A = this chain, B = another copy of it.
């Protein structure tokens, strides 16, 4: 039974594609069969990242063992004029494509920074939702509104409502098992500034109210973005035929962040 991990956050640039890529590589390196689905129809950043990977491996004659690639399939996007017909086509197409991923242990779905029908379908089919977010009240505003006078949480906001509706849809469809919703702080500053503490405090309060838990996150580090043109991640460095990692503190700490993040997802051990 494929475990579906949806990387979602309606807020743009929160780190979804970055988290998706590092999660995909981590899972492959752990020996799993991994599927990938890019629902960002327009920007296709994850697809581009994986395209770069395949091209780089070919040009540098690095084989599949050293630089594994997930099974990636085109998203069931419908261009039909009538919204009702397009949605019906996408809903059916989504079921079909899940079948094609059946041999994968894990399927990682990268969502766009927007509210789309495909993104909602993915959220309703998720076993785990990972929501990366910047350490910022601008990003927080898409999870919940804060009363500027009292500093208290007023209520859930757009993206929290999307997850709630996904949980409703899942329950109505009679699917067993709830969604494990994990919020991951991304691009964190090195210093434990007041802003970081305040955001952390509000996240702790909010997690109890709207049903997510906090995982370990990623710091703001160039290594998380500088290998995109080659389709590589830090975890690929040092593999046969691939350049070695620098022995910098940032690289060492990043490896620790990625490993800790994966562990905190409490994914099922599929090798048993």
Q: Which residues of A contact B (CB under 8 A)?
A: 10-14, 17-18, 42-43, 45, 48-49, 52, 55-56, 59, 113-115, 134, 136-138, 141-142, 146, 148-149, 151, 158, 189, 193-196, 220, 222, 225-226, 228-231
4 closest residue pairs by CB, A with B: A13-B13, A12-B12, A12-B113, A195-B226
Number of copies: 2
A138 to B113, CA, bound (A): 14
Chain B residues closer than 8 Å to A10, beta-carbon distance: 42-43
Chain B residues closer than 8 Å to A17, beta-carbon distance: 138
Is the pair A149, B195 in contact by a Cβ cutoff of 8 Å? no
Is the pair B136, A229 in contact by a Cβ cutoff of 8 Å? no
A45 to B141, CA, bound (A): 8
Give 13 pairs: A residue, B residue, CB < 8 Å, sorted on A: A42-B158, A43-B142, A113-B113, A113-B114, A134-B225, A136-B228, A137-B226, A137-B228, A137-B229, A146-B229, A189-B222, A194-B226, A195-B226
A226 to B139, CA, bound (A): 11
A59 to B151, CA, bound (A): 13
Is the pair B14, A138 in contact by a Cβ cutoff of 8 Å? no
A131 to B162, CA, bound (A): 29
Chain B residues closer than 8 Å to A45, beta-carbon distance: 138, 141
Is the pair A113, B229 in contact by a Cβ cutoff of 8 Å? no
14 extra interchain contacts, Cβ-Cβ under 8 A, other than A17-B138, A48-B141, A56-B148? A11-B43, A12-B12, A12-B113, A18-B138, A52-B148, A55-B148, A55-B149, A138-B225, A141-B228, A148-B229, A148-B230, A193-B222, A195-B225, A195-B226
